[in-house]
Structures are given as C-alpha cells and as structure tokens.
Structure 1
Amino acid sequence: MDKLVYIIRHGETEYNRQGIVQGGGVDSSLNATGRAQAEAFYRAYGELPFEAVLTSRLKRTHETVAPFLRQGLAWEQFAEINEMSWGDHEGKKSTPSSHAEYRAVVAAWQRGDYTAAMPRGESAAELGARLQRFIDHLRQRQETLLLVCAHGRTMRGLMCLLQGLPLSAMHQFEHSNTGLWLVQQQAGDFTLLKENDTLHLSQIHA
C-alpha cells in the first residue's frame, strides 16, 4: 500500500531564538514566530485529508500541529521521536566550550563512532534504535496519508534511516522550523520527495 508521510519540525521556540539548547529534557512552548509558522503551515496543507497526526511527547510539537488537531484528527504521541537528549547542556545557552564539545561529538558520529554523546546525554546509537522502532511502526500503519511532527536532530536521524543511510550522514540534512520533508512509502521502502520545504513560510517572511 502506498503511503505519503508529511514530516515537519516544530515551530520556533524562545529557546531556539536565544540559542539555548533544548533537547528531549526541555519541554518548551512555541513563541509568537513559532505560532505564526504553525498557522502558515496549516494554511498551506490544512485541506489535505490526513488520517492521523503523530507527534513526539513534547508540547512544541503538539502546539505546531494544533490547527490540525482542532479538526478532530486522530492523534498519537511517541517518545521514540522526542528530541535527542543533550544531557548536561540542556536548558543552557551555547558557549564556545560547549559548542566545541558538541562539534567533537558530531565529528565522532561522522567517523562512525555512534557511542559518542554529550555528558549524560544520548548517543547516536541510542537515538537510532528508538527512531528505528518508530519507522518499523510507521511501516505497519494502514493509513495512506499521515502528518508527523518531530525535532531537529530527530529529523536528521529519521532521514538517514528512512533512506538506508548511515547515521554518520546526519549532518547532511538541514532543518528549519516547520520545514517539510515529504516521504513516500511503497512496499516498505521510503523515497524522499521534498526536503526541508519552507515555501509556506514566504507569506510571513515577506
């Protein structure tokens, strides 16, 4: 059965704007810009006959898809697509030293060392394991049109795994607030049709 999955990142939060690390342990809300982004996405795609909305358990994803939920669409939350845990750095503004530590961890992932993690944070291997559980669930669902709202690093990991790429390629996938990734599933295989599409935001950036 062919399936189309619209996957978006949540709208902007004040933490995003201020450069504060969020991760899976910070349950922040959208700011005014984020709410405008969510409404813009809804104006562009609100008439599509989505059969269900899937989000993480963090409220920034819930608030992003709120206009769709007001239609009464079926809604399920999955911890598997929560944002990656950045450990001790969550809730803190990025500094030169913390950014250097982050870059070192990302460089390790790019070398294929998926055990690397920020202090008391999540490794790429741990992230990949839970994302794979979500993908396995996605494959089994019977709907043909789904909306998924997740997070930046989660999006990077999903795009790798959906396309059969190693997690060392995560850095290749840029992500914007409410950027759209359109994925088609055919016979269990996934094809990327749109990548970080933000055309719907042109009206609020004009």
Structure 2
Amino acid sequence: MRPRTIFLLRHGQTDFNVRGIVQGSGVDSSLNDVGRRQAAQFFAAYGHVPFDKVYTSALRRTHESVQQFLDLGLPHEAHTALNEISWGVREGTRITMDEDAEYRQVLAGWVAGDDNARLTGGESPAEVAARQRPFIELLKSRDDEETVLVCMHGRALRVMLCQLLNYPLSCMEGFEHSNLCLYKLEYTGSVFTIKNFLDVAHLQVG
C-alpha cells in the first residue's frame, strides 16, 4: 500500500487559552478573533490538499478550526475519543504551576510514569489513551483514506502522539504544542513516523 498522510492539528486560540483557564472536555468554547485568523491561515496554506476525511473532536473549537475545509464539502466525522482530557472540578478555572500544588504533583506524576494520576474528578492519561485506542484502530483500518486531517486538543494530542509512535505516556511532555500547530505523520500500514514536528510555518505568513 502507498504511505498515508495524517495531519494532526491542535485547535486555534480561544479566550480561555489567553487567560490561562483550562477548558478540558467540559468547557465547549469557541475560537476568538486570533483563533479564527489562525484557522484562515492554515486553510490558506493547506486548502489545496485533497483530504479524504476530516476528523474532529466533539467540541466546537475543533470544528471551527477546520470549518473552511468542511465548507468544501469534505467528509467529516466527530469523535468524542478525540476530546481533550477532563480536568475534573478544575475546568473553567486558572491553573498554574506556581500557584497550584495539586497540578504540579499530578504533572510530576505523569513525567515519572504514573499514567493513572489525575486532578480531582478528572481523567488520567491512561484513561484518555484507552478511549483513543478504538479511534486509532479505526484510522488504521481505513486504508482508502490516503490523506486525513485530524483536529483535536493539546493534552489529548500529546497522548495520541505517544500512542501512534509507541512512546510511553511519560514522554508526552516532549511533544510541545501551540494553538493551530501541526504534526504531520506518515503511516506505512505498520509504522507512524513524524514528518513535521510542531509546524507553525503557516502562521508566519503575512
């Protein structure tokens, strides 16, 4: 089979991103003006790509980030498996490393290999990985989709990349992300490899 190309995209900027407020899977925010401009810049750079399918999470900020592709009539599926990690009772609040001991402890646990650590009422990386796996198998099975666009969320993107590249979840901090950044992968039918890492070249134009 010919290698397939997977575009993994993080959603554009929201006002919550600017204010440092965690959204998780429970805050269904929209893009702000900057986020909409980022989405337009990405479309300007990649609108010519013949995507066979567009996948998003069930949250509107991912839909809005790829809306111009959807307006072309491209096939689209929304999957809750692609939703952001749940930050539990802390969703909608500001969390910083400096001010929040529980947050520091949980993140340190993840780096140390504790995939089951979570904030109160939230999800662990192991739980996010488990709900992503059926989607990953679905993606692998659809070999008629040679080029696909997947728009999701920062922490969930890190978990996804660890799974696709066979890294332990403790390595996820190595996959940096920013709003409307791109990770471009190639899939041979057995192995995923990264071709573009934290690519934001499309945002530097103009």
- TM-score in terms of structure 2 length: 0.95
Percent identity for Structure 1 against Structure 2: 47
Q: Which residue of 1 aligns with 2:11?
A: 10
| Rounded Cα–Cα distance in structure 1 between residues aligned with 2:40 and 2:101 | 36
2:86 is aligned to 85
Structure 1 unaligned residues grouped into runs of 5+: none
RMSD: 1.2
Give me the whole-angstrom Cα distance separating, in 2, the residues matched to 1:199 and 1:123.
32
Pairing of 1:25-104 with structure 2 (within 5 A): 25-94=26-95, 99-104=100-105
Map of 1:182 onto structure 2: 184
Is 1:89–1:98's contact at 8 Å kept on the other side of the alignment? no
Conserved? CA contact 2:97–2:103, under 8 Å: no
- For residue 170 of structure 2, what is the aligned residue in structure 1? 168
Does 1:119 pair with 2:120? yes
Q: After superposition, what is the alpha-carbon deviation per residue over 1:15-42, rounded to whole angstroms, capped at 9, x for unaligned?
A: 0011111001000000000000000000
What CA deviation, in whole Å up to 9, does each residue of 1:57-82 have, x standing for no partner?
00000000001001000000010010
- What SS does the corresponding residue of 2:195 show, helix, strand or coil? strand
Runs of 4+ aligned structure 1 residues displaced above 4 Å come to 95-98
Secondary structure at the residue paired with 2:150? strand
Shift of 1:115: 1.2
* Alignment check: 8 A CA contact 1:41 1:201 kept: yes
When normalised by structure 1's length, the TM-score is 0.95
1-side partners of 2:14 and 2:192: how far apart? 30
Distance 1:108-1:96 versus aligned 2 partners, 3 A rule: closer
Aligned residue in 2 for 1:135: 136
Corresponding residue SS for 2:204: helix
Q: What's the counterpart of residue 159 of structure 1? A: 161
Q: What amino acid maps onto 2:125 in structure 1?
A: A
The secondary structure found in structure 1 opposite 2:29 is: coil
Distance of 2:131 and 2:196 partners within structure 1: 24
In structure 1, distance between residues paired with 2:79 and 2:96: 31
Distance of aligned partners of 1:182 and 1:96 in 2 relative to their CA distance in 1, 3 Å threshold: closer
- Secondary structure at the aligned position of 1:49 is classed as coil
- Paired residues of 2:89 and 2:122 also in contact (CA < 8 A): yes
Aligned counterpart, 2:148: 146
Q: What is the distance in 2 between the residues matched to 1:27 and 1:94? A: 18
- Long gaps (5+) in structure 2: none
Inter-partner Cα distance in structure 1 for 2:138 and 2:192: 13
